[in-house]
Structure 1
């Protein structure tokens, strides 16, 4: 039995030594910017003519790296490599597979600030957000390795005097991981190494905004002893290679994190049986959220304001778990709104290289334009309290924004904005708060701030989300502590960082030996 894992601690940047170490990491990574990165297929580096250019969203004149772009021929070669590697990798002792992850975690832990600094440059993460992202990636490596060791003997089942019965898990085969840009190390790492340590082989298609940090994980896994072909790094467009591999008859599973539009499309395509396909494809699909913090009239209002602030504006609101709706009891509505407005006034927006920056840019021009369109929608539907402005002259910066007096069925209360925007709605009692909180197509995260235990117990049963938090914000789930995933159109609720996550990428086999 392996020891339980205590999650990777977050860095305290009030300590001068830690602050100095992060600045040194930023300087080092800055010296590495602008390099070219190949595909990695069957352990071989493959350079292509067509490229993906990764740019700094805080300063678009800075190129993070130029990455080779895979086409369908590369995708097919990656599938062949994954299929061949599966024959031996699936037979490795689970503890040996786990040791690759344990070593990778140790290497990244020693280079933690370097990995975080890559995200500060590549996707505009402030220090605290980047540090948490790297820590979560380390957690996934450690946690899934331990889970695999525990699953190695299978699950005890009954036997009789005339027989011995076994119930054990075997891997599925080659599969596809499509990872997002918003947690470009943590989610990319977890959705790749979870299926991998379970004995599967992987085609990794990272987000086009963040391919360099994914390449850095590949370097570490190779250094850690991962055999050729076990993970094949193939950044490329969804239409060119994503659809091809989703449809491929040899693809056994698809692990996707991203938008509802893409996720539902993958879910539909994966259900179709292709010529030569002899299995049903497994899907683990995590999509979006429209997440609510409820504040009743018996809450700690300072705690409520702080919880709304960091849940709404952490990483510029670009988290599927972000608080984009605050539903507040009418008796304390004005007071809570004012407290959040006052805190929001002090949010520093700027270049994430500076340790004083609370909120950096949004990811790119497309995101900036979409969020600014929602600002105009919000001004028509509700009352602008603060923010509503942006600046895309050098990077993609948007001011943290509050809309008040929003109707529960308004667009800004229903549609996922994925930016630093929170809408406030008023409710007359707790039943109405729950009703409003549940009135979206999503069901990812939610929080209740209250000192009324009866209200918390009511929410425990009636607030329909995959991750529900009491007296804290609705973001920042920790691997192994708060397994993460949502209901309804938030996805298949595969519960990343949970005790049964690996089972989505394995199949149980019963063996009876009769005497």
Structure 2
């Protein structure tokens, strides 16, 4: 592939970078409360019904509002996307890639501004917001370069007297349903993967974080994307989402979100409707119940740090977050003690003030997580945290629940908050068995200095992304392609060498000479 190097993260230990971020926060603050219309076929459409985005750290503060699409407007967007597809699919891959390169350059120039918006709209601390923005840039750069290689197709054998060619062509209109927890990186990544491969898109972002998506659509237009290639249609999942998933002209769906919604989409997309000529393709990432395994032969300080960082970064609101720590009994007490000490030093507060842990996303998430904390009191022993405060924002103290049985709810159900369960294993083999005893298979990590146990885990730990001697979060585009097994989704490796092909179909042509 054409040389690629991921976007470096900002070093916030430098005063100049701190000052730049503070300046960006003030700029974003001064522009809050604006309205963003739908974008359909390049046309701005304002509707009477709005989706209001609030700051989860200051729940009275309005980030902005976006117009809300209904089924009539969803159909209008579908027709615009179908029309645009007829020309966009014939545009040279080089030109499509150029749009991504230009968009990446625009975002890079406005990097802190986008990150500051993530701090306000999604409650992301500085570092987490900066990583989100960097990943969005990475997706654009990586997929653009990858498309420049894929445009050549793949080599085939030819016999004397014939010439065979293997090429990739786009699918059609795709529905992109993006999540709130990586509202820039995943939204941008799934969108640009769809369009650089020649498809057109109906973008339905998460209702809690629609403003950053609206801003990104503006970036794509500034980069030269033609009208109708990306149509911005935030709206209700039950109304707009279901309608578009069922639509006979929908060719593929890219979804990132909960298991329940993902399975619902999977079921609906499997049905063939009148006028439909294909089986719809689904690219889904549906969450995880991720485990860090600690061997008795391990750096215990590294183990504790990896657990705390992976469990509580962005308040545990990552599908890759460590929500289970399975520790061999020989070192269980020592790792638990070290993790408790580290957790007690973690700061919780408004992410604009650069605390390590900010708020959870909204009232529903707050109530759900606090309910799991109560379950933790019954299933184990809360050794730190266990409290929350939703007076001004949705803040929950990082919580460790010790001595939890492997089959307990806390060890089986995705919590999506700053809660981690500790479970004891008699040996490394049992630790791997416990790690595998969930319906999910997204990420995992093993802390060990034993090479044979490392190789056992490499073969037997059934997850899509496995890390050794580090935390289980933080996959980088092009370096650790991301996607998981089982109920974690379709193992569609975002930021990987075969991700773009999921948005295309292969065509063989054979000419007799």
Give the TM-score category using the shorter length.
over 0.9
Q: How far 1:153 moved relative to its partner?
A: 1.0
Written as runs of structure 1 = structure 2, the 5 A alignment for 1:360-399 is 360-399=358-397
Matched positions, count: 513
Cα distance in 1, alignment partners of residues 458 and 6 from structure 2? 26
Equivalent residues of 2:77, 2:202 under 8 A apart: yes
Which residue matches 2:284? 285
Q: Alignment partner of 1:446: what SS?
A: strand
CA distance in 2, matches of 1:316, 1:426: 24
What does 1:201-350 align with in structure 2 at a 5 Å threshold?
A: 201-350=200-349
- Residue 407 of structure 2 is matched in structure 1 by 409
Contact preservation (8 Å) 2:327, 2:431:
yes
In structure 1, distance between residues paired with 2:282 and 2:153: 22
Match of 2:178 in 1: 179
Contact 2:2 2:149 in 1 (8 A): no
Distance 1:180 1:91 in 2: 30
Structure 2 CA distance for aligned equivalents of residues 268 and 89 of structure 1:
30
1:457 positional shift: 0.0
Taking the aligned partners of 2:485 and 2:376, their CA distance within structure 1 comes to: 26
Equivalent in the alignment of 2:142: 143
RMSD: 0.5
Consecutive aligned runs of 4 or more in structure 1 exceeding 4 Å deviation? none
| d(CA) in 2 for partners of 1:508, 1:326 | 43
CA distance in 2, matches of 1:287, 1:361: 22
Deviation at 1:167, TM superposition (A): 0.3
Residue aligning to 2:501: 503
TM-score (structure 2 length as normaliser): 1.00
Taking the aligned partners of 2:58 and 2:82, their CA distance within structure 1 comes to: 41
Alignment partners' CA distance in 1, 2:506 and 2:3: 24
| Structure 2 unmatched ranges of 5 or more | none
Q: Partners in 1 of 2:379 and 2:424 — Cα distance?
A: 14
Distance in 1 separating the partners of 2:9 and 2:82: 38
| SS of the residue 2:202 aligns to | strand
Counterpart residue number, 2:88:
89
Q: CA deviation at 1:3?
A: 3.0
**Residue deviations 1:329-381 (CA, integer Å, cap 9, x gap):** 101000000000000001100000013x0010000000000000001101000
Are 2:440 and 1:438 aligned? no
Give distance in 1, aligned partners of 2:43 and 2:141: 27
Cα distance in 1 for partners of 2:215, 2:158 equals: 48
Question: Which SS does the other structure have where 1:202 is aligned?
Answer: strand
**CA drift at 1:161:** 1.5
Q: Distance in 1 between matches of 2:236 and 2:502?
A: 26
> Corresponding residue for 2:457?
459
In 2: Cα distance, 1:498 partner to 1:348 partner: 35
User: Residue by residue, what CA displacement relative to the aligned partner does 1:315-339 show, whole Å, maximum 9, x if unpaired?
Assistant: 0000000000000010100000000
* 1:514 to partner: Cα distance: 0.6
Partners of 2:308 and 2:381 lie apart in 1 by 18
Aligned to 2:116: 117
How far the C-alpha of 1:308 sits from its partner, in A, is 0.4
1:213-237 deviation line (CA, Å, top 9, x unaligned): 0011101000000000000000001
SS of structure 2 residue aligned to 1:353: helix
* Residue number in structure 1 paired with 2:471: 473
Structure 1 partner of 2:15? 16
